[in-house]
Amino acid sequence: MLLVLSEEQREHLGCLPRLGDAAVAELGRLALELLRRGGAPRALEAAARKLGVGVDAVQHGVEALTYLLTESSKLAISEIDFQDSVHVLGFSDELNKLLLQLYLDNRKEIRSILSELAPKLPSYHNLEWRLDVQLASRSLRQQIKPAMTIKLHLNQNGDQTAQVLQTDPSTLLHLIQQLEQALGEMKTNHCRRIVRNMK
């Protein structure tokens, strides 16, 4: 699958050859920082001064590179497809190699950053448990009532929440049985077949 770049993006990338390989490497670094931490106007200004070009040119270059890297990572395109996509820009071989290396070195990290953007439910973090036996209450003395107190730690949007829950022994066994069945599902022929065919 080939990457499709818009006119504007091609134009912005078009100024890369003029800047030289070292500059392109620098812009690549800025692009990755942009993905990791968001915008950094000071860094762009510093780079512009160092390279002797306008801030706009640097910004466009970085944005275009960012797009190139994120789209390639998102689609997980192969080396060959990446090279073919970049080829249409008419860059030198060294520049093409540099861009390819930039892609290969960073695509795993970019993919993991992109995976954070997916809609998410609270996700499991940890489970703590405690066995309690209730011996008496205001309404009833002389009890022996076992209960399992559970603290469920979940992550949502970066915040950790902990919820205290309780269950009785028979429900606990039922939960274990049901969830073991759930785990077993991935090993069934049906699921295996789907996983095989989806690649």
Partner 1 sequence: KKCVISNLSILDDPDLKDIDPAVLKHCHAAAATCILEAGKHKADKSAISTCLEDCKLDRERIEEFCTEYQKNEDALEIILGSIGRSPLHITDVSWRLEYQIKTNQLHKTYQPSYLVTLNVENSDSGSHPDVSFSCTMEQLQDLVGKLKDAAKSLERATQM
Near partner 1 by CB under 8 A, which window of 17-25, 52-60, 90-98, 161-169?
161-169
Q: DSSP H helical segments within 38-92, as ranges?
A: 41-51, 55-75, 79-87
Shortest distance (Å) from residue 102 CB to partner 1: 19
Residue 161, both tokens: 């929440």
Under the criterion CB under 8 A, does residue 176 sit at the interface with partner 1? yes
Alpha carbon 25 to chain centroid, angstroms: 23
The upper half-sphere exposure of residue 96, i.e. CA atoms within 13 Å in the direction of its Cβ, equals 15
SS3 label, residue 7: helix
Under the criterion CB under 8 A, does residue 197 sit at the interface with partner 1? no
Under the criterion CB under 8 A, does residue 145 sit at the interface with partner 1? yes
First to last CA, the chain: 15
Strand locations in the chain (E): 123-134, 145-156, 159-167
Under the criterion CB under 8 A, does residue 104 sit at the interface with partner 1? no
Under the criterion CB under 8 A, does residue 135 sit at the interface with partner 1? no
Shortest distance (Å) from residue 161 CB to partner 1: 10
Under the criterion CB under 8 A, does residue 80 sit at the interface with partner 1? no
Site for partner 1, rule CB under 8 A: 74-76, 111, 114-115, 117-124, 126-129, 131, 133, 137-143, 145-150, 152, 154, 163-169, 171-176, 178-180, 182-183, 185-186, 191, 194-195, 198-199
